[in-house]
Structure 1
C-alpha cells in the first residue's frame, strides 16, 4: 500500500494511492494504526470514492515522533567532510565502526510539494537526497532480524541544509543545529515494506535515486550503497532505548546527493548554492517523486555574543 496524507478543502485526510488517485481510508484509522497493521489487514480496509490527485494537497505522510538521521554512504562522507568540516576529506576510522546519527527537528516537517524558505542568515543553502524508514512497531535492544518486523515502510527524505551555519556551529564540537533546523521534507507517501521487497538483493533495497535542480540532474546513486541496512540502523537506534511507531530513520545523503559533496570534490562551489526560485526535485525508484521551490526566508533575530563569566571560582 502507498499511504498518503492529504488536504482537501482545508481538511486533513488519509488515503491509499492507486493508479494516480487517492482512495480515502476510514476516518477511525490513523497513520500509526496503518503502520502497525499487517499487509492483509490493510488490504481488508474499506476505501472511499477516489479523489483526483489534482484536487488534493499532499502533506507529509507522517508526523514523526522523532527523526534520527544517519550517515551511511561512504562516497558522500568523503566529499562532504572536506566541504563542511574542512581538512583533507578523509573518512574518520570511527565512521566504519558504528552507524552514526543525529536527531533532527520533527517540528520542521514539510509536505512533498511545499515551498521551502531559506533559513535565516543562510548564504549556502543545500539539499540532501535520502530515503527514510518509518517505524510501525515498538522495540528495544532489537537484533536486525527483530528490527525488520518494526519497519513499516519507506519514503523520500530531503534533509535541507544551511551549510554556512552548519560549518560554523560544528566547529564548537557538537553536531549540526540551526544548520539543519528549518525544513525536513518527507513524501510523497509511505510505500509499505512489502511492496519494496521485489527490489531487495543481498540484504539491501536496490532503488535508483536522482536529484535535479530546475530540471538539470545534479546527482544519482543507488540505495544499495548504504554501508548498513535499515534493519541494522533500526537495531542500533534501539540499543538501550525504544524505537516507537512514527519514528523516522534517515539513510543519510546518498553519493552525489547534495551540493556540499560536489563542492568538496571540486574545490569550488559548483554547482552554486540554492537561490530563491530554484526547484529541487528528487525521485526514488519504487517510491515516487517530491519537488519543492525555494522561497525567500526571514532575517535572523539578533542574539548577543557570549557574556564572560562574572563569578568564576578560584580552583
Structure 2
C-alpha cells in the first residue's frame, strides 16, 4: 500500500495511492497517525479509503508523505564514500572507521519538501549538489534493538534527496563537526510512503532490497546503482540508531547516497574536475527508485544574504 500527503486549495489531505489517483483518508487523519497505529491498522484504514473517489495526482501538490519527528541520514554506500572523500574531504579512500559501524548525522526535519517542489540554492553556495537515497520509516517505538528485532519495526520506504551545498559542507567538516548548513536547506521526501510488504519481492538472498536507483539532470542520466549495494541493510541502521537510546514511530532514516553517480561530488572526486558541473537555477533533477516511484525537483535562485561574520580574535587572558 502507498500513502501520500498533498495540498490543494489550501487544504492538506492524507490518503492512499492507487492507479486511479489519490483517495482521501478521513478528515484530520495524517500519515504519521497511521504509522504510529501500526501496519495492520494502516492497511485497514487504507483499504477503506480506496472505496472513496480518486483525485488525479497531477491536480495537487504532493507534500512529504509524513511529518517525521526526526530525520537521520546514514552513509552506507562504500563507493559513494570513496569518491566524495576525494572531493569534499582531504585525501582519498575510505577510512577504516567507516567499516566498523554505520555512521549518520541528524538533518533538519523542518526543511523537508515535496516530490515536485522547487529547490532554492542555499545562501552563499556555488557548489550545489543532489544525493540519491532511499529512506526507511520506523513503524514502532523501540530501544537498543537487535537487527532481527529492528526488521519488525519497519513500516515502509520512500525516496530521499539530501540536497547538499558542497562548499559550505567542506568548510564545516574541517572543524571536525557537521555537516550543518551544508545540508539543512532542503531535503526531498516522496513521492509517497510504500509499505514494507510491497517491496519484499525485491529482497535478495542476503536480505537486501535490490531496487534499481537512477538519477538524471535535465533528462540526462548521471547515476545508477542498486540499493542492495549498501554496506548494511536497513535493519542494521535502525538497530544502530536505537543503540543505547530510542527510535520512535515515524522516524526517518536515510540510506546515504548510492554509488556510481548518486551525487555530483562523487564524480568530481573520481574525475578530478567538476564534471558534470554544479547544479544551477533551471536544472531539473529527477530520481527514480524501482518499486517506489519518481521525484522531480527544479533548482531555482536562492535568497542573497550578507556574508557571515567571522569570529572575533580573543586573547588568552584569564583575569578581568
In the alignment, what sits opposite 2:18? 18
Post-superposition offset of 1:311 = 6.2
Post-superposition offset of 1:86 = 2.3
Alignment of 1:1-315 (within 5 A): 1-45=1-45, 46-47=48-49, 48-87=52-91, 89-201=92-204, 202-255=206-259, 256-310=261-315, 312-313=317-318
Post-superposition offset of 1:20 = 4.3
Question: Which is further off, 56-65 or 305-314?
Answer: 305-314
SS at match of 1:54: helix
Does the 8 A contact of 1:39 with 1:194 survive in 2? no
Does the 8 A contact of 2:3 with 2:17 survive in 1? yes
SS at match of 1:33: helix
Instruction: Report the Cα distance in structure 2 between the residues aligned to 1:22 and 1:268, rounded to whole angstroms.
Output: 44
**Cα deviations across residues 216-254 of structure 1 (Å, max 9, x unaligned)?**
000000000000010000000001111012211000000
Post-superposition offset of 1:54 = 1.9
Change (3 A) 1:63 1:42: closer
Post-superposition offset of 1:49 = 1.4
Instruction: Report the RMSD for the aligned CA atoms in angstroms.
Output: 1.3
Taking structure 2 as the reference length, the TM-score comes to: 0.95
Taking structure 1 as the reference length, the TM-score comes to: 0.96
Instruction: Report the Cα distance in structure 1 between the residues aligned to 2:35 and 2:65, rounded to whole angstroms.
Output: 11
